[in-house]
Structure 1
Amino acid sequence: MKLIKATEQDIEKIQDLARRSWESTYSEIISASQLDYMLNEMYSEQELQSHFQHPNYHYFLVIDDDLNDAGFIGFEDHYEENTTKLHRIYLVPESKGKGLGKKTLEFLTEKVKENGDNRIILNVNKYNSALKFYESQGYQVYGEGVFDIGNGYVMDDFLMEKNL
């Protein structure tokens, strides 16, 4: 497995990986209309372009041992004082269960330390099975929130952290 720094030329690839992973992850948690709305808002070309223009926002593509695109990670260092925010980590269904998620979080930890932060935070849907995965990797729930994302939809999330 390897992680490759993504560029603006990878936007379509990120959009495709997001759709493939979201459909399997969220289809039983949120409605199809909310899923489409969120993908269109959060992964629009304009939104992703703005991330690539931000110096503290980083995307990496996850490539499996067979050189297939397995997923991606997006994070923002110095989001808060000494804190990196993990905004996105998604693997396509056929890549799950191979240890790629764990290795990607280990990669994130290395990057966070390199950037001088000592805490990682993230939001996870309260009904997402990834909650148990994050807990197994040393993340703890420190709060929860319901976030209005527009169009009558909300995100009902746990807030998690890991101190390094």
Structure 2
Amino acid sequence: MNLNYRIVEATPADYDTIRKIAHATWPSTFKDILTGEQIDYMLHLMYRRQAIEQQVADGHVFLLLVEGQRGNQNANPSPQYLKGGITKFKPVGYASYQADYLPGTTKLHKVYLLPESQGKGFGKQLIDKVATIARNAGQKALRLDVNYQNKAIGVYEHVGFRKIDRHTTDIGNGFLMEDWRMELALTD
């Protein structure tokens, strides 16, 4: 695990970064599951600046995971990323969550990492961060929805999520989201 990383709460100045990570991640993540047309539709639906602003207004909190880069002159991070002797931090992933999505339950809406940053343990770090925030807020469970064909299901099960049920959501334009609903208990 790379110890040179930080997880920071995103600000409006980071919304474009979140959008860029989504656009760099979704095609490889969903290429075997969704059509290119549905990927484009969903990216537009969820990652336009106005869509992110609406999600935040609805209670979503976005977190950025930034990885330390020594001497990388091309990175131009916000000052909040510069810490601990690392000269630059590059945003490589994000999560979003919503406390009290249901009473006592936090919803983990999104966890995405750039393809080159996957397999480094960063996804687990983002999930652990959201679980800690939720636990500290007195939440009893962390819930998420994941496409029923997504390879990440194994990762979620490895960190303790269990499948509750499968459901389908009509997202418009003739497209469906076919997901497993999964939950992680936050109490012993």
The aligned residue for residue 92 of structure 1 is 114
The answer to whether structure 1 residue 25 and structure 2 residue 29 are counterparts is yes
How do residues 1-164 of structure 1 correspond to structure 2 at under 5 angstroms?
1-54=5-58, 56-66=59-69, 67-164=89-186
Give the Cα–Cα distance (whole angstroms) in 2 for the partners of residues 113 and 57 of structure 1: 17
Give the Cα–Cα distance (whole angstroms) in 2 for the partners of residues 69 and 24 of structure 1: 18
Q: SS in structure 2 opposite 1:117?
A: coil
Identity of aligned pairs, percent?
33
Q: SS in structure 2 opposite 1:97?
A: coil
Bigger Rg, which one: 2
TM-score, structure 1 length as denominator? Answer: 0.96
Give the Cα–Cα distance (whole angstroms) in 2 for the partners of residues 119 and 5 of structure 1: 21
| Count of residue pairs brought into register by the alignment | 163
**Structure 1, unaligned runs of 5 or more:** none
Amino acid in the other structure paired with 1:132: G
Give the Cα–Cα distance (whole angstroms) in 1 for the partners of residues 126 and 13 of structure 2: 21
TM-score, structure 2 length as denominator? Answer: 0.84
Amino acid in the other structure paired with 1:141: K
Q: SS in structure 1 opposite 2:119?
A: coil
- Matched-pair contact (CA < 8 Å) for 1:8–1:52: no
Alignment root-mean-square deviation, CA: 1.0
Amino acid in the other structure paired with 1:4: V
User: Which moved further from structure 2: 59-68 or 128-137?
Assistant: 59-68
TM-superposed CA distance for 1:105, in Å, is 1.1
Give the Cα–Cα distance (whole angstroms) in 1 for the partners of residues 27 and 67 of structure 2: 20
Amino acid in the other structure paired with 1:18: A
Would you identify which runs of 4 or more consecutive aligned residues in structure 1 move more than 4 Å? Answer: none
